[in-house]
Amino acid sequence: MNWVEQLVKAVLEWLTRLAKTDQTSEDSKPNDALKNHLLDRISESERLREPSDIRSARPTCETCGERAGTCLCS
């Protein structure tokens, strides 16, 4: 019976060592092309998010600097 116990113990130790080894997944390996593509997408979205001055400037009063038509100067 001792040899059965030794066999089971050896198999369990082998499985424990196998479970504890660090396996590198294919998805976790560094991919420079993907990294650069994602960084380009981030840069593009930040560029599009920058404020743009689409509207034309509203006319202001030369005396007080308020918006024309709302100041009390005129």
DSSP 2-71: HHHHHHHHHHHHHHHHHHHS-PPPGGGS--HHHHHHHHHHHHHHHHHHS----SPPPPB-TTT-SBTTTS
* Cα 13 from Cα 19, distance rounded (Å): 10
Residue 4: the pLDDT is 92
pLDDT of 14 above 90: yes
Residue 61: the pLDDT is 79
Tens of pLDDT, residue by residue over 16-66, are 998 888 777 777 778 899 999 999 999 998 888 777 667 777 777 777 777
Burial (0-12, 13-18, 19+ Cβ within 10 Å), 74: exposed
For the record, the structure tokens of 57 come out as 């400037």
This prediction has a pTM of 0.35
